[in-house]
Structure 1
Amino acid sequence: MADTASRAMIRVRERKALAAFGGRASGQRHPLVATAMVLPLAALLVVVFGGWEAVVTQASSVGVMLGR
């Protein structure tokens, strides 16, 4: 039989830790946090695959798709 009591305690600790740091257990990230996470990878991809033209083209396509 599964040890559900210990798993429940782990979840309670995780929720308390998230609450202590102002985090959320579920939901969406703040757009600035998401941007800060993506920018280093985007810069690396620009260097590896070469060129701003591809980045500008893709960003433009995404902007059009999102209606901006």
Structure 2
Amino acid sequence: MADTATRTILRTQGRKAYAAFGGGRSGPRRHPLVATAMVLPFAALLVIVFGGWDAVVTQASSVGVMLGR
């Protein structure tokens, strides 16, 4: 017979360790506009530093087409 109890214990311990290191969800989800406001300054800095405005526009356009907009 298979030793399922040991495997179950190992799986649950692995999940606890995953959650302890920030892998699990902690607290409510962030609103998409708040997340966008957090990312935009960093994105603008990357565009300025690397001069990739054309690449940003191309990628945004591709994502828009892929989403059907």
Query: What TM bracket, shorter-length normalisation?
Result: 0.5 to 0.7
- Structure 2's unaligned 5+ residue stretches are 1-25
- Structure 1's unaligned 5+ residue stretches are 1-23
Of all paired residues, the percent bearing the same amino acid is 84
Q: Is 2:68 the partner of 1:67?
A: yes
Seen in structure 2, the aligned counterparts of structure 1 residues 35 and 54 have a Cα distance that, compared at 3 Å, is same
Higher relative contact order (CA 8 A, sep 6+): 1
1:67 to partner: Cα distance: 2.0
- Give 4+ residue runs of structure 1 displaced > 2 Å after superposition: none
Q: What is aligned with 1:58?
A: 59
1:65 to partner: Cα distance: 1.9
TM-score where L is the length of structure 1: 0.53
Aligned length: 44
TM-score where L is the length of structure 2: 0.53
Distance in 2, matches of 1:45 and 1:66, equals 24
Q: What is aligned with 2:37?
A: 36
- Please provide the CA RMSD for this pair: 1.8
Q: What is aligned with 2:49?
A: 48
